[in-house]
Amino acid sequence: MLNKLLELIHQGGSLTPITLAQQLDTTPTMVEMMIDELTRRGMLKVSEFEKNCDPESCGSCYLTKTCHSKTQRMWTTSAKK
């Protein structure tokens, strides 16, 4: 199952746990768990994109204090296969 997921990921392109779940005929939660597994094994790299501002660096923007603090997770393939 993990190998099938890896095959799909290595085909490249933009993916989501939902689209991967459809292709693997499983649930998005299962895909997220497997993505986490591959990340733990160093096969994927996770980036957490903070959608909130850094008050020090974004101080020049007047909306800094009202920025949302939400995290968006993204994964990309790493050199390890």
Partner 1 sequence: MNLYHEFRQRSVSNGIKKETLSIALAGQPNMGKSTIFNLLTGLNQHVGNWPGKTVEKKEGEFQHNDHTIHLIDLPGTYSLSANSPEEIIARNFILQEKPDLVVAVVSAANLERSLYLVSELIVLETPLMIVLNMIDVAEQEGFTVDAKTLQAAIGVPVIPMIASRASGVRGLLDYFDQFIEGKLEFFPRLPQISADHQYVKELIDQLIDGFVPDYYPKNWASMKLLEGDSEIYDILKSVLPLERWETIDDILKQHEDAGLAIASGRYEWIERNVRAAVNRPKLGQVGLTDRIDRFATHPIGGLILLAVILGLTFWLTFSIGTPIQEWMDSKILVPLGSLAQIWLIDAPAWVISLVVDGVIGGVGAVVTFLPIIIIFFAAFGFLEDIGYMARAAYVMDNFMHWMGLHGKSFLPLFLGFGCNVPAVMGTRVIESWPARILTILLAPFVPCSARMAVIAFIAPAFFGRNAFLISWGLILSSITILMIVGVILNKIFFKGERTAFIMELPLYHIPNLRSAMLLIWQRSLSFLKHAGTIILMMSIVVWALSVFPGGDLETSFLAQIGNFVAPVGEWMGLDWKLTVALITSFMAKENAIATLGVLYGRTAEFGLLETISMTYSPAVGMAFMVVTLMFIPCAATVAVIKQETGSWKWTIVNIVLMLVVSIGAASGVYAIASRLGL
Instruction: List interacting residues with partner 1 (CB under 8 A).
Output: 1-3, 9-20, 22, 26-30, 32-35, 37, 41, 44-45, 47-51, 53-54, 57-58, 60-68, 70, 72-77
Q: How far is the CB of 52 from partner 1 (least distance, A)?
A: 8
| Strand partners of residue 50 | 71
- Structural tokens at position 37: 């597994």
Q: How far is the CB of 23 from partner 1 (least distance, A)?
A: 12
Q: How far is the CB of 42 from partner 1 (least distance, A)?
A: 11
Closest C-alpha among 78, 20, 14, 7 to residue 46: 78
- The C-alpha angle with vertex 63 and arms to 60 and 67, in degrees rounded to 5, equals 120
